[in-house]
Structure 1
Amino acid sequence: MTEAAHYNPDPHAHPGLHVIAIFEAAKGLLALFAASGLELLGPAPLLRWVHDLMVRFQLDPNQGALAWLSNTINPDSVHLAAAAVFAYGLLRMLEAWGLWRAKAWASWLGCISAAIYLPLDVYAMFRHPGWVSTAVLVINLIVVAVLARDLFKRRH
């Protein structure tokens, strides 16, 4: 018998779990690719990009956030950033696997991690009103609602 034949999802699980799982897997893969890119490219392209931004926007290379970033980018900081992005990617992939298999812990993880972004989404909507910030907020609200509903149905 194949593993698929042994798969018996929770009948109370929300059908949207698979959609969210695919979305989380895509985010995870993007993060893993980004971490790999950071490791392969190193600090030189990042420094060039920051310098190009400073020139384009005529910013002082000795003051401001981009100046601080320029002084912070080095091989060690790039390795640390790549490790953090890699860990994030693995977490998203683990969540995707758990949601695909209708695991309650994955619904908890997804619900909490999506809910953490809601205040930032609301802030972004007021700071930068438009369809993009509205869409991001609505999508996150839907994800939280679907996962919360899944958890609620499992309890009752």
Structure 2
Amino acid sequence: MSQPHHYNPDPHAHPGLHIIALVEAVKGALALLAASGLELIGPAPLQRWVHELIVRFQLDPHHGVIAWLIGAINPGGIHLAALIAALYGIMHLLEGWGLWRAKAWASWLGCVTVSLYLPFDVFALFKHPGWLSLVVVAINVAVLWVLARDLLKRRR
């Protein structure tokens, strides 16, 4: 009996690319859902939810992040947030598709984005040490290693 042949556009591609591709596709789909949700519900329910948070946790609505959030929840702010979420989602869906198909540009895109997130993750680890912060840093380092390894193998 012969072994089934699996399609792999690059025989040197690391099998971890498919796992990363799936995660990126899920992140992209969730971001598109969030963008759609923002557009569908609009600012009024968000303003009510923020007001409920202020009352429940006795927050100061005139200073800090809460004051900024209150000011940002308007039709223009919601449209901008939805646009940013949609662009983020599309980028991650494209990256996921590219990684699934073992495209070099997708590995480059992944390396760049993980490299941008990593300093913030390391900062968070030192600011709020704990197993969750450590796991986030470890996962991002592993993703960077898989993507960089894929690019190095392609150069040979």
TM-score by length of 1: 0.92
More moved, 31-40 vs 42-51: 42-51
For residue 103 of structure 1, report the CA deviation from its aligned partner: 0.3
Provide structure 2 residue ranges, at least 5 long, that are not aligned to the other structure: none
Partner residue, 1:106: 106
Superposition pairs for residues 120-139 of structure 1, below 5 Å? 120-139=120-139
In 2, Cα distance between the equivalents of 1:55 and 1:40? 25
Partner residue, 2:62: 62
In 1, Cα distance between the equivalents of 2:68 and 2:97? 38
Provide structure 1 residue ranges, at least 5 long, that are not aligned to the other structure: none
Question: Over aligned residue pairs, what C-alpha RMSD do you find?
Answer: 1.3
Letter in 2 for 1:101: R
Number of aligned residues? 151
Partner residue, 1:46: 46
For residue 143 of structure 1, report the CA deviation from its aligned partner: 0.3
| Matching of residue 12 in structure 1 with residue 12 in structure 2 | yes
Identity across the alignment (%): 66
In 2, Cα distance between the equivalents of 1:104 and 1:111? 11
Deviation digits for residues 22-73 of structure 1 (CA, Å, limit 9, x no counterpart) = 0000100100110010000011122122212222221222222201210221
Runs of 4+ in 1 over 3 A off after TM superposition: none
Letter in 2 for 1:61: P
TM-score by length of 2: 0.92
In 1, Cα distance between the equivalents of 2:140 and 2:23? 12
